[in-house]
Amino acid sequence: MSQAQTSWRAEKWRAVFVFAAIYLQSFVLYGCSVVSISFYVSYLIDRGIPNIQVGLIGMFPCVGYVFNLCYDLLDHLLVKKNVSLKVCQCMFFTVAILNCVGQGAVDLIPSSYNDLLVLVLTLQRAVSGYVGFLASKGTVECCRVWFPDHMNLIIGLECGAYYFGGAFVILMGGYVYEAFSFKEPFLVFGFVAVLFLLFNLATLPKTSDPVLVKAKEESAEENIPEAEHESKGLKESLAADTTQGLSWKIIFPLLAQAMTLILEGFSTSITTPYLLDEFQVPLGKGSSYVFVFYIASFLGCSVSGVMLQRRCGPSKIVAAGSISAALGVLLIFPGQVSQCLYNLVPQTAYLGMFLQGYGCQLVAVASLPAVEEVHVVLGGRQCTRAHKSAVSTLWLCSWMLSVYAGHMVALMVIKYMTCTLGGWIMAVSCTCAAAVSITQDVAIHRSKTAPPRPEV
């Protein structure tokens, strides 16, 4: 075997380990957020916390997301402080683990100090949202920098890791809570997360050089010392001129994303109570619908990344995902329009949840390149690294805030209207998102195929 072949094989194995490190980090980060989701509400209510306070505590990660719009700590560290991506990610990872373990420690607060308990949990949830957002954006930057030729594929797989981790950790957390007490799920998961953190410290690259590219070109400067031959990294590219700013037209793909992903929060909040009340399904079976949703989300993220890597138009993927989500809603909330379908809801709800989870994540992953494409093609502007960083921030905020908005919509639907009406509203929202994406795709196609304007 030649030296070049040996070097290429070693590079591929290095890329596999780097991908595994980022994948496990995504798995753990979402797990830190949802480890208590199966028992969190019942624990707080048993402690005597009012329902309204329980709901507000659950919404406080939004504060962390909004704060990132005001101050982007990741860009500050990468550009002004010249901190490496590896250090940033491991730092965010460590804070997320400590915050997760700290949530389990609140069980030590006596019941007579419930006001203190609410304050501590509120701060922890806000920190969880802030750090989770920073780590998520850092993951996007890792994919963009270390896997430039496979970025869309890797981002899709990494997003899938969030939901795979969520499905696994929710299941694990419920069983450990039943077997022991409130703090044990956090301690068990925290121990596993520390092992993954050590793997990241040993594996992630120290520089911003790509770890895998499609083809390696011989350089005439290959004899230049390595210190002079390294890429200029994120600092220079993020500090590039952005006087034009982002095109206002990116609001359309972000709107299509939000109108679909609001269903994610709505469906995971309302489906189980709806089926329990309307069809008297057992509690264990009710939770299995959410599990199907998470598995479908994992598949949707992965498939979306593969389709993008194969050059499928992102706007087309968003439209297809929105239509899939709308069909999934109608299978669960048919109302009295079809009595036959209504009677089969406990069975068709599995397919409905699958279509919703799959469609929502097709939209979520494809929306990032869709926003960049609209900025360049319809907006007629260059997309520098700084533009891409800003797009990543808006994309993540739109995604995460839409999910929490869906939770709020579900609460309002339960209080003020029927679940069926709320489901139909979500179906209309997804259909409108599909219409926006189709119109957007047509406009992009016409812009690309239009003849150049004659010079005056």
For 145-171, give the DSSP string.
HH-GGGHHHHHHHHHHHHHHHHHHHHH
d(CA 325, CA 359): 5
CB atoms near residue 295 (< 10 Å): 18
What string of DSSP letters covers 211-241? S--S-PPP-TTTTS-HHHHS--HHHHHHTS-
**Contact in structure between 36 and 102 (CB atoms under 8 Å):** no
d(CA 242, CA 382): 9
Chain centre to alpha carbon of residue 411: 22
What are the b/e assignments for 130-153, b being 16+ CB within 10 Å? bbbbbbbbbbbbbbbbbbeebbbb
Above 60 in pLDDT, residue 238? no
**Contact in structure between 405 and 265 (CB atoms under 8 Å):** yes
Summarize pLDDT for 306-334 with one digit per residue, the tens. Answer: 999 999 999 999 999 999 999 999 999 88
Q: 291: helix, coil or strand? A: helix
| Tokens matching residue 418 | 């029927």
Look at residue 214 in the predicted model and tell me its pLDDT.
64
Q: Name 421's Cβ contacts closer than 8 Å, sequence gap at least 6.
A: 413
Summarize pLDDT for 122-143 with one digit per residue, the tens. Answer: 888 888 888 888 888 988 999 9
Summarize pLDDT for 329-348 with one digit per residue, the tens. Answer: 999 988 766 777 888 888 89
Summarize pLDDT for 189-213 with one digit per residue, the tens. Answer: 888 889 988 999 999 998 888 887 7
φ and ψ at residue 223, rounded to 5 degrees:
-90, 0
Q: Name 338's Cβ contacts closer than 8 Å, sequence gap at least 6.
A: none
73-76, Cβ contacts within 8 angstroms, sequence gap of 24 or more = 73/134, 74/134, 74/137, 74/138, 74/141, 75/238, 75/389
